[in-house]
A and B are shown apart, each in its own frame.
Chain A
Amino acid sequence: MTAFRAQRGRLAAGGAALAGIGLLLGGAFLGLAWEAAASWEGALAAFDGYLLRVTRFTLWQAGLSTILSVGPAILVARALARHPRFWGREFILQLFAVPLALPAIVAALGVLALYGRSGYFAPLFAATSGDMWPGIYGLSGILIAHVFFNLPLATRLCLASLETIPADQWRLSAQLGMGAFASFRFIEWPVLRASLPGIAGLVFMLCATSFTIVLTLGGGPGATTLEVAIYQALRFDFDPARAIALTLVQVALTGTIVLALARLGASTMGDASLPVASRRALFPGAGEKVLNTTLILLALLFVAGPMLATVVAGLAADLVRLAGERPVHQATLTSFILASLAAVLCLMVSGALIMTRRALELARGARIPGFLERMSDSGAAMVLIVPPIVIGAGWFILLLHFGDVFAFAPAMVVAVNAVMAMPFAVRVIRPAYDAASARHEKLCLALGISGWNRFRLVDWPALRRPAAVGFAFAMALSLGDLGVIALFGSDDVRTLPYLLLQRMGSYRTADAAGIALFLAILCLGLMFIAGRLGKSRT
């Protein structure tokens, strides 16, 4: 009886969290269904050539981005694996983790500052070829930005799987005098082959749902993905019927990809924990050394380029004036408030789900997990099927019936960002909670500690650090997000990414560059703190 009572609080918390997520997703789909029922003819008519072309472009650019990211990533990862003592290797790997933490709009701006027609690269090109640099609006810009994000990610993931090759095999290959090619074929490829579908699937998913990059670098209807088209249908066209058709296709598409990924057993989060490189008996030839060094340097140049451009362009901006501007202050404050609230909400929801899952696991003993337990387990990852823009679009259409949609901006941003960051927070906090629970569960029962007292005295000390990591992570994610705010943003509620988008729009590139640098520092700072806290477990 006491045991049951002890679980009840945790179950209620999890139930409430699941209900909250259900409400968020359900509300979005209700909005879509409501409008679809009211204007089903319009929605049906929107399944036209435009929809087909947008879908085709979405898949096409995602496919190309995947090939261009993963292909070179294999080579670079291999080069790094075969040179465990490459000069600056640690630094390069650290640098390759940065794009993951960088807000997409900052990266887009960095890519533009470097490769745009008036970017740093253009005069160089003009001087060497005599021709005018054609610029990068459209497909080329989208591809460059996607590769900038995903080449380092894929490299780290490939490297992580290469690092699982036992040292014996490397030694054996050296003893047998295997050359680079033979060693690739017999040692490296079998390992890579197993992990490649998952890596490629993840990159494809990220590119197929990319919003900010396509919005800022697409350059027009010729290069529009489903997500951008949904945004445009609502904000440009005031055409909910078209938005519904696009949303249905988007959900079907991401649903298929996520299912396929689950089949492949791939991680949908995409981070690699790289072990310290083991001692390896590797004796690459001189030719291979040169080739590998070139590969690594090229990749380094490609990844570091836009980052450097962001810093240089940012420092060239009138930072003093920007720092004194009221809109900048307000956007910073709004961003911080919304991101903090989103992070708090994210922790609450994640914590509730984690506790419920654990409580259910304890209660069932060895039986098969029930529905609620499975929902509180993998249910968290399910939200990734429904992109933020889709949730935003559904609510946007629903809220049209209740007056000024823009007034709901803060609530929408907080809720959607909290839920989007949840899978990551769950992954950080759950191991710590489950471990603490395994240690203390019996003791708590024996002493009759439960509810709030138990949380405060027993669980919290063990959770403090992972919770802080989750908080910093969720906050960074929310700070840099330009999804829901693109739909709901207005002059009244502006976050830093939204202000950045506005400044880009009103040809104040220098301002945009300055804000981008500021935003990048904020997000990277938070990620750095999260990383530090995560590592130094005491």
Chain B
Amino acid sequence: MRTTTTIPVVAFGLFAAALPAAAQDTLTVYTYESFTTEWGPGPAIEEAFEAECDCDLEFVSVADGVALLNRVRLEGENTEADIVLGLDTNLINDARETGLFAPHGISLDNIDVPGGFEDEIFVPFDYGYFAFVYDTEAIDTPPESLTELVEAGSELGIAIQDPRTSTPGLGLLLWIKAVFGEDAADAWSELRDNVVAVTPGWSESYGLFTRGEVPMVLSYTTSPAYHRIDEDTDRYRAAAFSEGHYLQIEVAGRTVKGQDNALAGEFLTFMTGPGFQDVIPETNWMFPAGRTSEPLNPAFDDLVEPAETLLFSPEEVAENRNAWVDEWLSIMSQ
């Protein structure tokens, strides 16, 4: 019966190994999944920051931005996170109310996002406009407005994300609210016929799209730049919608636990500088919120420019998010 005695020993070793080696030299950053994949910004940023700080930067990832907030809420004060990176302006009110975040205490002079941004706790790191990206080989004439998309009928299959887990999913919810107002529920009832899949995170939807399971996907105006630059193809394009596009500003914040870790403040400052910002455009495929050391690849100039920028205030979102998500859930479960 040698196995029964070795198992607990191995088990102990395994769990011990999962604990951080020395809390002082480690910075733990919670973020969403597509950020930490090997083609995402995570690896390059980890390398750049570790070279600067002589420390260990550790990413922990969850499906998407809303799930990120939920994860931190679930862990409460016991969270391992020093930094939470990947919330957006729609969530910052809820995040602030958890009391788990501490003021950033850094200067936001380097930050430049549409409409400007001021906050004591959260620091923007990139921004983008939500858009439906389509496969030109599957769709000849894309819808030219959100209204056209909603009325397109089930011929036009789309993949979207769940607003309960994903910031783009929540973004679409708000986008439709902004455009249709009182009639948003009716719009969703119609749009439901087009929805082939609702996935928990952005990467899952985008995977369905690139594999050809759906001809159109909820993503960003910047997504085609990826296919242009990395894959040298014009096949995938974003559809410009006449009502305008909803803006997403992605932010990071320092947790109360991270307040004691000097590395956390260091990281936030680093995040607003070129060491971080240079990586963002061509790995996270978003617009940088700070200055980059070189101009962006020209592919970024060819992208859809929103006719109008749509954005609710964080307070409005905080006030209505639960009710709107419940309404969505109720319609989509029919």
Q: Which residues of A contact B (CB under 8 A)?
A: 48-50, 53-54, 57, 116-118, 135, 137, 219-222, 224, 232, 235-238, 333-334, 337, 340-341, 344, 400, 403-407, 410, 490-493, 502, 504-509
Residues of A within 8 A of B37 (CB): 506
Alpha-carbon gap, A505 to B61, bound state (A): 12
Alpha-carbon gap, A235 to B329, bound state (A): 15
| Interface set, chain B 301-334, CB cutoff 8 A to A | 325-326, 329-330, 332-334
Instruction: Tell me which of A220, A492, A504 contacts B198 (CB under 8 A).
Output: A220
Also in contact, A506 and B333, with CB within 8 A (given A232-B164, A236-B164, A410-B15)? no
Instruction: Tell me which of A118, A135, A236, A407 contacts B165 (CB under 8 A).
Output: A236
Stretch at the interface among B199-207, B231-239, B279-287: B199-207
Alpha-carbon gap, A55 to B14, bound state (A): 40
B70, A235: Cβ atoms under 8 Å? yes
Residues of A within 8 A of B60 (CB): 490-492
Residues of A within 8 A of B24 (CB): none
Residues of A within 8 A of B198 (CB): 219-222
B14, A337: Cβ atoms under 8 Å? yes
For the complex with contacts A236-B67, A507-B207, 12 further pairs of A-B residues with Cβ separation under 8 Å are A50-B330, A118-B212, A137-B196, A221-B162, A235-B70, A236-B165, A340-B3, A403-B78, A505-B200, A507-B204, A507-B208, A509-B207
Residues of A within 8 A of B332 (CB): 220-222
Answer yes or no: B33 CB below 8 A from chain A CBs.
Answer: yes
A220, B75: Cβ atoms under 8 Å? no
Instruction: Tell me which of A224, A235, A491 contacts B67 (CB under 8 A).
Output: A235
Alpha-carbon gap, A238 to B164, bound state (A): 9
Instruction: Tell me the smallest distance from the CB of B164 to a CB of chain A, in Å.
Output: 4
Q: Which residues of B contact A (CB under 8 A)?
A: 3-4, 7, 10-11, 14-15, 18, 33-34, 37, 60-63, 66-67, 70, 73-80, 157, 162, 164-165, 192, 195-201, 203-204, 206-208, 210-214, 325-326, 329-330, 332-334
A340, B14: Cβ atoms under 8 Å? no
Instruction: Tell me which of B63, B74, B80, B213 contacts A505 (CB under 8 A).
Output: B63
B333, A221: Cβ atoms under 8 Å? yes
Instruction: Tell me which of A57, A334, A492, A505 contacts B33 (CB under 8 A).
Output: A505
Q: Which residue of A lies closest to B79 (CB)?
A: A404
Of the A-B pairs whose beta carbons lie under 8 Å apart in the complex, a sample of 15, sorted by A's number, is A48-B326, A49-B330, A117-B213, A220-B199, A221-B329, A235-B67, A236-B67, A238-B74, A337-B10, A344-B7, A490-B62, A491-B61, A505-B63, A505-B204, A506-B37
Alpha-carbon gap, A236 to B212, bound state (A): 27
Instruction: Tell me which of A238, A404, A490 contacts B78 (CB under 8 A).
Output: A404
A506, B213: Cβ atoms under 8 Å? no
Instruction: Tell me the smallest distance from the CB of B2 to a CB of chain A, in Å.
Output: 13
Alpha-carbon gap, A528 to B118, bound state (A): 63
Residues of A within 8 A of B200 (CB): 236, 505
A506, B210: Cβ atoms under 8 Å? no
Alpha-carbon gap, A340 to B204, bound state (A): 32
B70, A117: Cβ atoms under 8 Å? no
Instruction: Tell me which of B33, B74, B206, B329 contacts A50 (CB under 8 A).
Output: B329
A236, B211: Cβ atoms under 8 Å? no
Alpha-carbon gap, A51 to B147, bound state (A): 30
The 8 closest A-B pairs by CB, nearest first: A507-B207, A220-B198, A236-B164, A221-B332, A117-B213, A403-B78, A404-B78, A238-B70
A507, B206: Cβ atoms under 8 Å? yes
Q: Which residue of B lies closest to A405 (CB)?
A: B74
A135, B333: Cβ atoms under 8 Å? no
A50, B7: Cβ atoms under 8 Å? no
B333, A53: Cβ atoms under 8 Å? yes
A222, B334: Cβ atoms under 8 Å? yes
Also in contact, A236 and B162, with CB within 8 A (given A507-B203, A507-B204)? yes
Q: Which residue of B lies closest to A509 (CB)?
A: B211
Residues of B within 8 A of A237 (CB): 70, 164, 325
Alpha-carbon gap, A473 to B42, bound state (A): 41
B213, A118: Cβ atoms under 8 Å? yes
Alpha-carbon gap, A80 to B36, bound state (A): 53
B4, A344: Cβ atoms under 8 Å? yes
Also in contact, A137 and B197, with CB within 8 A (given A224-B333, A337-B10)? yes
Residues of A within 8 A of B63 (CB): 505
Instruction: Tell me the smallest distance from the CB of B80 to a CB of chain A, in Å.
Output: 8
B164, A341: Cβ atoms under 8 Å? no
Alpha-carbon gap, A219 to B34, bound state (A): 20
Residues of A within 8 A of B334 (CB): 53, 222
B11, A337: Cβ atoms under 8 Å? yes
Alpha-carbon gap, A135 to B214, bound state (A): 9
Q: Which residue of B lies closest to A112 (CB)?
A: B213
Residues of B within 8 A of A235 (CB): 67, 70, 165
Residues of B within 8 A of A238 (CB): 70, 73-74
Alpha-carbon gap, A226 to B333, bound state (A): 12
Alpha-carbon gap, A521 to B43, bound state (A): 33
Q: Which of B18, B195, B204, B329 has the most CB of A within 10 A?
A: B329
Instruction: Tell me the smallest distance from the CB of A412 to a CB of chain B, in Å.
Output: 14
Residues of B within 8 A of A491 (CB): 60-61
Alpha-carbon gap, A410 to B15, bound state (A): 9
Residues of A within 8 A of B61 (CB): 491
Alpha-carbon gap, A54 to B330, bound state (A): 10
Residues of B within 8 A of A135 (CB): 157, 196, 213
Alpha-carbon gap, A507 to B33, bound state (A): 11
B11, A341: Cβ atoms under 8 Å? yes
A493, B70: Cβ atoms under 8 Å? no
Q: Which residue of A lies closest to B61 (CB)?
A: A491
Residues of B within 8 A of A221 (CB): 162, 198, 329, 332-333
Instruction: Tell me the smallest distance from the CB of B198 to a CB of chain A, in Å.
Output: 3
Also in contact, A50 and B326, with CB within 8 A (given A506-B34, A506-B37)? yes
Alpha-carbon gap, A502 to B199, bound state (A): 12
B196, A219: Cβ atoms under 8 Å? yes
Residues of A within 8 A of B62 (CB): 490
Also in contact, A117 and B212, with CB within 8 A (given A219-B197, A235-B70, A406-B75)? yes
Instruction: Tell me the smallest distance from the CB of A398 to a CB of chain B, in Å.
Output: 13
B164, A506: Cβ atoms under 8 Å? no
Alpha-carbon gap, A492 to B62, bound state (A): 11
Alpha-carbon gap, A410 to B78, bound state (A): 18
Q: Which residue of A lies closest to B215 (CB)?
A: A132
Q: Which residue of A lies closest to B162 (CB)?
A: A236
Q: Which residue of B lies closest to A52 (CB)?
A: B333
Alpha-carbon gap, A220 to B197, bound state (A): 6
Residues of A within 8 A of B197 (CB): 137, 219-220
Instruction: Tell me the smallest distance from the CB of A194 to a CB of chain B, in Å.
Output: 39
Alpha-carbon gap, A334 to B13, bound state (A): 11
Alpha-carbon gap, A507 to B203, bound state (A): 6
Alpha-carbon gap, A507 to B34, bound state (A): 10
Residues of A within 8 A of B329 (CB): 50, 221
Q: Which residue of B lies closest to A132 (CB)?
A: B138
A404, B75: Cβ atoms under 8 Å? yes
B211, A507: Cβ atoms under 8 Å? yes
Also in contact, A506 and B211, with CB within 8 A (given A50-B330, A221-B198, A491-B60)? no
B212, A333: Cβ atoms under 8 Å? no
Alpha-carbon gap, A507 to B205, bound state (A): 8
A403, B213: Cβ atoms under 8 Å? no
Q: Which residue of A lies closest to B11 (CB)?
A: A337
